[in-house]
Structure 1
Amino acid sequence: MSAERGQVSGLEPQREWWRGACIYQIYPRSFADSNGDGIGDLPGIAAHLPYVASLGVDAIWLCPFFSSPMRDFGYDVADYCSVDPSFGTLRDFDHLLERAHTLGLRVIIDQVYSHTSDQHPWFRESRVDRTNPRADWYVWADAKVDGSPPSNWQSVFGGPAWAWDARRGQYYLHNFLTEQPDLNVHNPAVQDALLECARFWLERGVDGFRVDAIDYAMHDPHLTDNPPSPVNGRIRTRPVDFQQPRNNKSHPDIVQFIERVRALTDRYGERFTVAEVGGENSESAMKSFTAGAKRFHTAYGFSFLYADRLSPQLVRSAIEAWPADGTTGWPSWAFSNHDAPRAVSRWAGPADRSACARAAMLLLVSLRGNIFLYQGDELGLPQATLAFADLKDPEAITNWPRSLGRDGARTPMPWAAHAPNAGFSSARPWLPVAGSHLPLAVDRQEAEPDSQLALARRLIALRKRLPALRHGTMRIMDAGADMLIFQRAHPAEELLCAFNFGRRPHTLDPAPSGSWRVLEAVGGA
């Protein structure tokens, strides 16, 4: 429940457009297919931008659409400055960008600076020998005397983070797939090349970048082994879970490159940068990457994305890590995305998922910081269940059945409940449409005045209307173990946000004096 006291008076001072923004994440492969090949594409996105704009969001974030062999579905980039034919053409991108701007939507695109595809021309040249012009553009190292890899580092997707290349007679580093060799971002020439790729898209008019896995962009040059992780009761499904990634990521020199990226984007006016930073202990890296006015505007981690349970304690710890005292950057929050199982399936059983989706949406729009809405969150979509034969994600296949569940979060967007393939495509989709998503399809919810979609629109509009929600202060108040109560405040208004995480009803008395009114309530509040 959210309650308000006071009225906004006068004009709000001009602020950066991104501060407190609601950003809608689009996974192009699964959003809308325009040409009947079963794969979502840029024209499909452009055709549905009026729907996205109707949500009231400020911007869209497009996951990779660059040329790629698609071993990791676009995060293995073979050409940073071209569009993969499965998604369309550069002309299609330009049309999408123009259409979005006409509708009042900013456009943020992914940038992958820690690694490329092994099919990228840079890597093809680098692996030829040890003396070519790009020999130092990737992380190469000799074997140990016994022929084993240079260090004990493990790949996020399973197995050692080193692969042997017979032509060079050396190992190369890959923190993700073998087909995703790590760039040597310590090398200034590599930084220059990446910045030129960024400039290419800035010149086309993009409004900012979401920088993928930036914490993996630099490593300990001495290749020191990682220490083992403590036995803390956490489930370990991959070799990487058995060690602390102290030496293969988050090297202090990363901030020098981050400052170069920020300096470039600042030359283009109101551009926005957000970093993805993963791992259990990511807060210190996120704060370092966003400290001051010369680094990224914001960063988001996985405190909510991998949480099996939503609790007052989880929210409190996440929020209190980003105090509004000038010592940290501006926070960003996401409950679901393309790398994590959908939140409503992690946080609620089947009988409670509708209520969970409504409460989660209210909580998300109430938080201080930027909020990211993953496609389908506005519909309350649960995680899709896929048979092993239908899996496409290499991580899921390697670590079956204990996988991250990324395919289940990437199934096609359900546009029309009774249309073939839920209106996503006229052909068999690259991933099957989830049967559980059909009752939640866009066309069904458009016809229901109190649907999850209607609620999402209403709450996003509320956040845009009230400065206290968009960029006001936030103070968490003392409450019972199953209650979360916090205040959002602005000079002209004050809001009280209360969430009951338990089964027992609670009575809330905001204050003995003053005039309060309920702005929004879900779940019978």
Structure 2
Amino acid sequence: MKKDNWWRGAVIYQIYPRSFLDTNGDGVGDLPGIVEKLDYVASLGVDAIWISPFFKSPMADFGYDIADYRDVDPLFGTLADFDRLLARAHALGIKVMIDQVLSHCSAEHPWFRESRESRDNPKADWYVWADPKEDGTPPNNWMSLFGGVAWRWEPRREQYYLHNFLASQPDLNFHNPQVREATLDNVKFWLDKGVDGLRLDAINFCFHDAQLRDNPPKPKDKRVGRGFSPDNPYAYQYHWYNNTQPENVGFLEDLRRLLDRYPDAAALGEISSEDSLATTAEYVGDRRLHMGYSFELLTDDFSAAYIRATVERLEAAMAHGWPCWAVSNHDVQRAVTRWSGGHASPQLAAQLVALVCSLRGSVCLYQGEELGLPEAEVPFEALQDPYGKAFWPNFKGRDGCRTPMPWTGDEHAGFSPGLGWLPIPAEHRAMSVAAQEADPASVLNAVRGFLTWRRRQPALQYGAIAFLDAPEPVLAFRRDAGGQSLLAAFNLSPEAVEWTLPSGSSVQALDDHGLPAGQVDEGRLRLPPRGVFYARIE
């Protein structure tokens, strides 16, 4: 199974190119910078990289507003640089996945520039246009995730267009078959280049309700969601009609038929809906996406009960699909801060990597996670994220998890010859790659050791999962595959704990994974603060 499907159980390292390495001194990371650091990435023991958008863009949303799907923005380099990156990664045995933002594009895209000019041009129906109500207000009550109404007036057409995100990110009209065909053709361009996979941004947002029905209101006590505070008006609605429409499934099946023409290629969908786990289960399978991930483990809830309930609910709904898990990415506060309860530590950082890499599924690790980087404090005057600027100070945006990688401890952290696009805190420079490589007890070396060890454990890569009853703060489960049965247990607290193993258990501890390990004595497992325990079940 592992040999035939590289993505099954793979560890995928997310690179946010703006913040990885700047080679030309403009303060922004670039593709040559990724090439320069691929040996480092390979040394981590990961299977693949996922590169956030590097396509031509006005950068209103830092590349998630694409103006040309088939070209590299000069900020990041050239197509030749990407070809070099692809070749070097493959030479190192690393698969390459790229972000594809299909549901919307930039207002600077030639398609939209043509569409907005009139109601009868060849691209007139390529975006979601709607007439105003009799009083001139938008056609319905849909809200933008980035704040305010999801409709923008276009005087040339005397109509509104839909934008689920920024006003400069108009939504494409996937009800139009020409849009679907053109979108798949853009995807084919990169598959033909040899990419190994796609990370599909906001993939459940492709279709909207053709009747433009109002979203119903959401009670105040249920106003929670992905990366936004309850005071964001987006949280005031059930988003039943502006995304996650039934027609989306047919498009995913068309996309899968294209991907199947490239036998080694895989698709990972980002899914954020009213019931993201149910949508993930629906979207992932033999005829749809290879993998899916949602934001359930990117929340503030860090308890054994919550993690178990989340994984078990997805397992029950997606018996034949393949999940992908992440606890950090470029959109949310870093996990070591979010889940520390004020007790962030190197032990917690290493434990979180081990935990997410021990669940059934593939894994996305975000750059800097292997260093245990905490969330950076970015002052308002240095903010770049339009989301953060709009909701300051209740929500500070996403800049705190996007600050540049600290390669060294010097003034600019080895990221750029000059000032980077975001400030790099002194705390991060003290946790640099150079400093941690010189420290055998560092988070970096613990993660390297663990990922190397994990490669030798088929049960952790693609085995079945079954949770065991254990009191808080212990999370325990078994993994089974190919004749190997493993017990995994995690102490999620900063205090030592004990847990009585299930009656009749016979285990042989595995302590060569390089993390603070528990010990068994007469059927009782002693776990140190933030400790882990792996054992062979006999």
Assess same fold via TM > 0.5.
Answer: yes
**CA-CA distance at 1:264 after TM superposition:** 0.8
Pair 1:243-2:234 in alignment = no
SS of structure 2 residue aligned to 1:109: strand
CA distance in 2, matches of 1:384, 1:113: 30
**CA-CA distance at 1:355 after TM superposition:** 2.6
Match for residue 252 of structure 1?
Answer: 246
Matches for 1:42-81 after TM superposition, within 5 Å: 42-81=31-70
Match for residue 295 of structure 1?
Answer: 288
Pair 1:401-2:390 in alignment = no
Match for residue 447 of structure 2?
Answer: 456
User: In the TM superposition, what whole-angstrom CA distance separates every residue of 1:191-210 from its partner, at most 9, and x where no partner exists?
Assistant: 11111111111111100100
CA distance in 1, matches of 2:309, 2:303: 10
Match for residue 521 of structure 2?
Answer: none
Pair 1:346-2:338 in alignment = yes
**CA-CA distance at 1:309 after TM superposition:** 3.2
Instruction: State the one-letter code of the partner of 1:300.
Output: Y
- Which residue of 476, 480, 487 corresponds with 2:471? 480
Instruction: State the one-letter code of the partner of 1:50.
Output: D
Cα contact 1:341–1:404 (8 A) shared by 2: no
SS of structure 1 residue aligned to 2:430: helix
CA distance in 2, matches of 1:303, 1:174: 25
CA distance in 2, matches of 1:220, 1:109: 28
SS of structure 1 residue aligned to 2:138: coil
Match for residue 403 of structure 2?
Answer: 411
The 3 A distance-change label for structure 1 pair 100 and 474 is: same
Cα contact 2:200–2:269 (8 A) shared by 1: yes
Runs of 4+ with >6 A deviation: none
**CA-CA distance at 1:349 after TM superposition:** 4.4
**CA-CA distance at 1:324 after TM superposition:** 7.0
User: In the TM superposition, what whole-angstrom CA distance separates every residue of 1:260-288 from its partner, at most 9, and x where no partner exists?
Assistant: 11111110111010100124521121111
User: In the TM superposition, what whole-angstrom CA distance separates every residue of 1:179-198 from its partner, at most 9, and x where no partner exists?
Assistant: 00000011110011111111
SS of structure 2 residue aligned to 1:321: helix
Match for residue 482 of structure 2?
Answer: 491
Cα contact 2:470–2:499 (8 A) shared by 1: no
CA distance in 2, matches of 1:317, 1:505: 22
Matches for 1:507-522 after TM superposition, within 5 Å: 507-509=499-501, 512=504, 514=506, 516-519=508-511, 520=513, 521-522=515-516
Match for residue 170 of structure 1?
Answer: 159
Match for residue 422 of structure 2?
Answer: 431
Match for residue 271 of structure 2?
Answer: 277
Matches for 1:93-492 after TM superposition, within 5 Å: 93-232=82-221, 234=223, 236-290=230-284, 292-305=285-298, 307-323=299-315, 327-403=319-395, 405-418=397-410, 420-492=411-483
CA distance in 2, matches of 1:466, 1:324: 24
CA distance in 2, matches of 1:134, 1:460: 49
**CA-CA distance at 1:322 after TM superposition:** 2.5
**CA-CA distance at 1:303 after TM superposition:** 0.6
The 3 A distance-change label for structure 1 pair 508 and 457 is: farther
Deviates more, 1:36-45 or 1:271-280: 271-280
Cα contact 1:393–1:407 (8 A) shared by 2: yes
SS of structure 2 residue aligned to 1:487: strand
Deviates more, 1:224-233 or 1:370-379: 224-233
SS of structure 2 residue aligned to 1:506: strand
CA distance in 2, matches of 1:287, 1:182: 25
Cα contact 1:322–1:328 (8 A) shared by 2: no
Instruction: State the one-letter code of the partner of 2:311.
Output: I
User: In the TM superposition, what whole-angstrom CA distance separates every residue of 1:44-102 from its partner, at most 9, and x where no partner exists?
Assistant: 00000000000010000000000000000000000000000000000000000000000
Cα contact 1:322–1:329 (8 A) shared by 2: no
TM-score by length of 1: 0.94
**CA-CA distance at 1:471 after TM superposition:** 0.3
SS of structure 2 residue aligned to 1:268: coil
Cα contact 1:220–1:248 (8 A) shared by 2: yes
SS of structure 2 residue aligned to 1:422: coil
SS of structure 1 residue aligned to 2:140: coil
Instruction: State the one-letter code of the partner of 2:4.
Output: R
SS of structure 1 residue aligned to 2:275: coil
- Which residue of 22, 25, 29 corresponds with 1:33? 22
Cα contact 1:60–1:108 (8 A) shared by 2: yes
SS of structure 1 residue aligned to 2:486: strand
Cα contact 2:14–2:367 (8 A) shared by 1: yes
Cα contact 1:472–1:489 (8 A) shared by 2: yes
Cα contact 2:302–2:339 (8 A) shared by 1: yes
Cα contact 1:332–1:371 (8 A) shared by 2: yes
SS of structure 2 residue aligned to 1:474: strand
CA distance in 2, matches of 1:17, 1:501: 31
Greater length-normalized contact order (CA 8 Å, ≥ 6 residues apart): 1
Cα contact 1:500–1:506 (8 A) shared by 2: no
Deviates more, 1:164-173 or 1:235-244: 235-244
CA distance in 2, matches of 1:167, 1:116: 20
Match for residue 226 of structure 2?
Answer: none
Instruction: State the one-letter code of the partner of 1:303.
Output: E
Deviates more, 1:95-104 or 1:340-349: 340-349
CA distance in 2, matches of 1:149, 1:315: 40
Deviates more, 1:101-110 or 1:270-279: 270-279
Q: How many residues align?
A: 511
Match for residue 6 of structure 1?
Answer: none
Instruction: State the one-letter code of the partner of 2:482.
Output: P
Cα contact 1:229–1:244 (8 A) shared by 2: yes
Instruction: State the one-letter code of the partner of 2:468.
Output: M
Deviates more, 1:269-278 or 1:475-484: 475-484
User: In the TM superposition, what whole-angstrom CA distance separates every residue of 1:311-332 from its partner, at most 9, and x where no partner exists?
Assistant: 1112112210232786452111
Cα contact 1:237–1:403 (8 A) shared by 2: no
User: In the TM superposition, what whole-angstrom CA distance separates every residue of 1:349-390 from its partner, at most 9, and x where no partner exists?
Assistant: 454332321221121111110010000000000000010010
**CA-CA distance at 1:507 after TM superposition:** 4.1
The 3 A distance-change label for structure 1 pair 325 and 37 is: closer
Cα contact 1:164–1:171 (8 A) shared by 2: yes
